[in-house]
Structures are given as structure tokens and as C-alpha cells.
Amino acid sequence: MEELNLIRLGALAHPGRVAVYRLLVRRYPDAVPAGKIAQALGLKPSTLSVYLSTLCAAGLVSQRRQGTSMLYTANVAATGQIVDFLLHDCCRGRPEACTAFPVSLQKGSPPMTDRKYNVLFICTGNSARSIFAETILRDVAGDRFRAYSAGTRPYSELNPFALEVLRTKGHDISGLRAKNVSEFSTEGAPQLDFVFTVCNQAANEECPAWDGQPISAHWGMPDPVKATGTDAEKSLAFQHAYGALRNRILAFTALPLDTLDRVSLQAAVDDIARNTKEVSA
């Protein structure tokens, strides 16, 4: 294992390979086509191929074929193994040496306390999917969560199809607005407990380093704003997005937050993306 971790450290000793690995970690548990990675990072296919080959050989990334495409997924467990390797001797008789290591990231860290949690949903435009998620969570579990949403490049107005879906579902839309993600990294912003990206483009981008190390996960899904066809067909795409997010949020609110440690909770929110399906609602 020591030799493998040294190989992994060597694989990450290059800014290009680190960028690829970081993107795949943000997109986890997605399996991302090579072309999408190259597009997101502005890399030539030949350059990306070399980076991915090195990361796969080090066990940091896995690959599988789907049709004519190769799909890549981060091995997120490898990150923890590298950290364990680097910190293996730090506390042997010298506990003061570990004071800089965040308690929230240590194995066996205590469960989250029984309180109201701050949750931020991020997409690119903050006009539909993240607005859906904010509204659904507030309405189904507002006694346990404060729900927020933001965009990396927010539109000036919310999507009218999204607003109509929320109206027909009985949600209050009066206070909704598009917000920039930067609002949540300023002085006085709420300290976040959970951050979820709900679109692939937002997950591809670098977001702020959140104070307090919130639990984060990627719940990507197709963008209903890009739907084409008749108004009825477009509306159906928004209905599907709403249904998928409602399923994920119901699964999230059912988690026993006060009994799960950080490692178990991270695994649980990652599983939600894998195990919930898009449905009409």
C-alpha cells in the first residue's frame, strides 16, 4: 500500500492531472465521458488521454466503456488512503501534532447534532433545478432545514415553466429569486452544512472553499431549460426534473442525521444520486 500511495502522490504532482481528478471528484458518482472532461477543462484529447492513463494506472480513476465512449469515475476512497498514508505517524505520542487536522474530517467523527441544518443547492443559472430543490426542501422539511439556492452564472429571471410547475404543486413562489453563489461566501452568510450541485456544468466549475467543511454531493440531472418541442413537451421536462429532485430530497430528509458519522453520511448522500430515479410528479 505504501508503494501504491507513493505512485498516487506522483500522479497528482502535476496541475493538469490534479485538475482532472478534482473535476471527477466533484462529479462523483457520475461516470463522465472523456470528451466532456476535455471540454470542461479546455484540454486537447491527446493531452487528456495521457492524464487519464496516469490516473487510471495509479488507481485514482476507473474507466468503463459505454458504446463508443470511455467513461471515467473518481476513486474517492483513494483520497482518504493518501491522507491516511501522510498522517500515519503524526499522532504517535505527539497528539499536539494533529491539532491542525479538522475534526470533521477525521474517522469516527461524531454524528451531526440535532439542530436546524443549512443546505445550499447550486446549478449554473439558478432558474429551475436549484430553485426546485430549494422550494421542495423548504416545504417538506422546513422545520429541520434552511434551504437556499444559487447559480454560478445566474439568470436575471426565473424560468416561467419552472415557476408554473411550482404553482401547480402548491408551492409559494413569492420570495424566490436568482442568486449568485458568491452571496454564500461573504461575511454574514449562513454557515453551510450541506452543499449539493444539481447540474453537471456547475459541478465542473470550481466553487468557493466553504467554511466549516460542509458535506457535499453531486445530484446532476438533465437541464429542463434545454428541452425543445411544444410547450407541453417542455413542461414535461420540467415535471421530470421536479419529480427527480423531490425523490432525492425525500430520501435525504429521511436520513438519521443525528446517528450517522461524517463518513457514513457522505456515503449516504452519494448513494442518493445513484439510487433515485427521474419520475413525473
pLDDT at res. 276: 65
One domain for residues 35 and 170: no
One domain for residues 263 and 209: yes
Domains in the chain, number: 2
Residue 136: name the closest of 225, 244, 233 by CA.
244
The rounded average pLDDT for each run of 10 residues, N- to C-terminus, in the chain (281 residues) is 89 95 93 94 96 97 93 91 72 54 52 80 96 97 95 93 97 94 91 94 80 89 92 95 96 93 91 66 33
pLDDT at res. 38: 96
Residue 29 belongs to a domain: yes
One domain for residues 122 and 208: yes
From residue 277, give the alpha-carbon distance in Å to each of 27, 247, 248, 258, 280: 17, 7, 8, 26, 10
Residue 17 belongs to a domain: yes
pLDDT at res. 57: 96
Q: What is the CATH number of the domain that holds 188?
A: 3.40.50.2300
Residue 218: name the closest of 23, 21, 83, 66 by CA.
23
Residue 198: name the closest of 146, 265, 261, 269 by CA.
269
Residue 143: domain span: 117-275
pLDDT at res. 85: 78
The 8 Å CB, 24+ separation contacts for 189-192 are 190/118, 190/146, 190/148, 191/118, 192/118, 192/119, 192/120
One domain for residues 178 and 230: yes
